[in-house]
Amino acid sequence: MTTFARRRMLTMMAGIGAGWTAGPLIIQAGIANAAEPVFSTQTLENGAFLISTDYANVLGLQTPEGVVLVGGVRQEHAAAFLEVLDAHTSRAPVVLAYNTHWHWDHTGSNEVLRQRGARLIAHENTRLWLTNEFYVDWEDREYGPRPAEALPTETFYTNHAVSLGGEDIHSGLLFQAHTDGDIYVHLRGRNILVVGDVVADGTYPVMDPVTGGWIGGLTKAQERLLAIADDNTLIIPGSGGIMDKAALRRQYDMLVEIRERIYEFARQGKGPREMLSEGVASGLEAWGDPTRFVLNAYPGLGRHYREVDGVV
Ligand SMILES: [Zn+2]
């Protein structure tokens, strides 16, 4: 990590405990109910803040026109999330929110944010998944259409820009990476890059092959993010700790390594279980268990065989 990035991180850490306007730092509710979420808030720079729980990060910005949010939480945690948000912002209006992708654990707060009057921006494919009925086999989970009040109010295909409250907010599609509707949101003036689940903090990122994620797209997406970030950029993944460009680079290098190994095994006609038992991830143990990653990478190879020479 560069000295400047480290200093920025330290500034943020110092913000913990100092940035609260009401209530304790960590809302720890429901001892009797283990399903209650635990949210923590970190104050970043110039009114930026991060509300986190174990599965989600939501970036917030306080602007003169109201609050901007990037990301969301599960529906059953949406009310608790709003309480934490309101405590931090003194119930300032939420004027603008982004879905980084369609997944239920990052879009369950859409209704409450729209009820607050927020414009809700997402990629068009995210809106389409939220209006559909489908089954995700690797999660063994059925999805139904979300109500109209939970849908994005505004979608785009390639790039999108908003100027609001002195902020210059740019977002763009990271096609077929974690899903087929992933976007990054870049707060240029603050040098903060929100990347959703396309990047994971110190572990294998997830690919959802049912809704368009695949390993070729994932590496391309991270290349794009590396091109946008500089050494001082704060990179906010969909969950886990704040990263810097060096951490993103380490993840990208690992992904390229395992991608090439997966392609090579696939050319030999091997399936994902064989890949795992024959050491496709050997030497990469620091990234954790590769099973889900390899199992989810495999279906994408057949769908993208033209891009993976010699697989079919
Ligand atoms: Zn996701």
Ligand 1 centroid to 190 CA: how many Å?
25
- Kindly give the residue spans of alpha helices, DSSP state H, lying in 179-311: 215-228, 245-267, 272-277, 291-303
- Model confidence band, residue 2 (pLDDT cutoffs 50, 70, 90): very low
What distance in angstroms lies between residue 210's CA and the mean position of ligand 1's atoms? 12
* d(CA 279, ligand 1 centre) in Å: 27
CA–centroid distance, 100 to ligand 1, in Å, is 8
pTM: 0.89
Q: Say if residues 58 and 82 touch (Cβ distance below 8 Å).
A: no
pLDDT, tens only, 188-208: 999 999 999 999 999 999 999
Residue 199 alpha carbon to ligand 1 centre in Å: 10
Pick from 50, 53, 57: nearest CA to 29: 53
Q: What is the DSSP letter of 146?
A: P
So what's the pLDDT on residue 238?
A: 98
The reported pLDDT for the residue numbered 307 is 84
| Cβ contacts of 277 within 8 Å, gap of 6 or more | none
pLDDT of residue 145: 97
Task: Spell out the residues 6+ positions from residue 81 whose beta carbon is closer than 8 angstroms to its own.
Answer: 37, 39, 51, 53, 58, 72, 73, 109, 112
Q: Quick: pLDDT tens for 98-139.
A: 999 999 999 999 999 999 999 999 999 999 999 999 999 999
Q: How far apart (Å, rounded) are the C-alpha atoms in residues 287 and 312? A: 29
The amino acid sitting at 75 is: Q
As a whole number, mean pLDDT of residues 247-265 equals: 97
pLDDT digits (tens, 9 = 90+) for 56-108: 999 999 999 999 999 999 999 999 999 999 999 999 999 999 999 999 999 99
Rounded to the nearest whole angstrom, what is the distance from the C-alpha of residue 108 to the centroid of ligand 1?
12
C-beta of residue 280 within 8 angstroms of C-beta of residue 294: yes
Mean pLDDT value of segment 41-51: 90
The residue among 14 and 187 whose pLDDT is bigger is 187
**Is residue 268 predicted with pLDDT exceeding 70?**
yes
**Distance (Å) from CA 3 to ligand 1 centroid:** 31
Percent pLDDT > 90 in the chain is 83
178 Cα–ligand 1 center, Å: 7
